[in-house]
Amino acid sequence: MKSLPIAQQDALAQRRIHIAERVGRGGAASYAYALAQMARAAADAWLSRRASSKGAALTLYVLFSLAPMLILVVALASIFFDENAVRRALLTELGGLTGAQGGDALKAIIAGARRADEGLAASIISGVIVLVTATSAFAELKESLDELWQIPPSEGSGVWLFVKERILSFGLLLVLALMLMMTLAVNAGLAALQGSWADPTDPGKLLQYALSGLSMVIVTVIFALIYKYLPATPIAWGDVIVGAILTAILFMGGKVLIGLYLGHGDFGNAYGAAGSIVALITWIYYSAQIFFFGALFTHEYAMTLGSRRDRLKRY
């Protein structure tokens, strides 16, 4: 893994010290200045460490893992809720992020995930294949984060590392299923509340705001868990929360911009039947760029103002 020249490493360390000292003197302006400088450093790292290429690789892994990932999430959430309700909730949440054309592709993927009854042996084999494939995207995400944060490769048995990564990835899929179940429960509660209002024809602005807030919380929690547990290095929750909130804000704001782009791009005429898939690929790719920028900002925050500010670790 490539390191910066010594002179640049020292200059970066001095800049971090200067930012921390300025924030230490207090004031909102100092903190805003620090955030801007850390964002600039994260952008520099995003360019120098080729995050865009990593985003392209991650997009490919996500595409191959998406169907089995959705199968697992739906299966886990369906233990407690009706399967059709789970599918509708998943489509609503993901469709709100990807836009209409990306949502069409997701709808086709989820519809195609319905499997016919199989024998025991076939069910076990297909279950193992689904599990391994579904966790591949998280394994690739872990490797990308380790490279972006310049974490040395883990030592140990290749088989054990593979199993450990898959267990961790499956744990994150469990969290996604729990988030989906929480969304279903909250939606049911809000729908009941809306039904008790004096005017049942009221469009329910409160409901819309509550669902938007819930989506923001869910996205923030998911980013925080990924930044906390996927990289092969300990990182404090205080560092993770700041980075996750920023990434969630950028992600939700980027969703609007990407949606405008997808809405004005005529993917149907340009790509025919594959238009919805191309729209989904576009959304995944640009979302990956936002995610990696947030990861680099989290690392920069940890090194400048967070738990690692006293470590003169070279960038």
Summary mean pLDDT of the chain:
74
Q: What is the percentage of the chain residues whose pLDDT exceeds 90?
A: 6
Comparing CA positions, the residue from 196, 214, 174 lying closest to residue 93 is: 214
CA distances from 133 to 38, 67, 72, 143, 286 (A): 36, 9, 11, 16, 22
Q: The whole model's pTM is what?
A: 0.77
Mean pLDDT confidence for 198-223? 70
Write down the pLDDT at residue 112: 64
Report how far residue 299's alpha carbon sits from residue 39's, in angstroms, rounded to the nearest whole number.
Answer: 11
Q: What is the percentage of the chain residues whose pLDDT exceeds 70?
A: 63
Neighbouring C-beta atoms of residue 123, cutoff 10 Å: 12
Residue pLDDT, tens place only, 113-132: 555 445 555 556 666 776 77
DSSP result, 229-285? HSSSS---HHHHHHHHHHHHHHHHHHHHHHHHHHHHS-HHHHHGGGHHHHHHHHHHH
Which band of pLDDT confidence, cut at 50, 70 and 90, is reported for residue 245? very high
What values do phi and psi take at 96, rounded to 5?
Answer: -65, -25
Identify the residue with better confidence: 71 or 185.
71
Burial of 252: CB neighbours in 10 Å, binned 0-12, 13-18, 19+ = middle
Write down the pLDDT at residue 193: 58
Write down the pLDDT at residue 315: 42
Write down the pLDDT at residue 43: 92
Write down the pLDDT at residue 126: 61
223 touches 242 (CB < 8 A): no
Mean pLDDT confidence for 30-36? 85
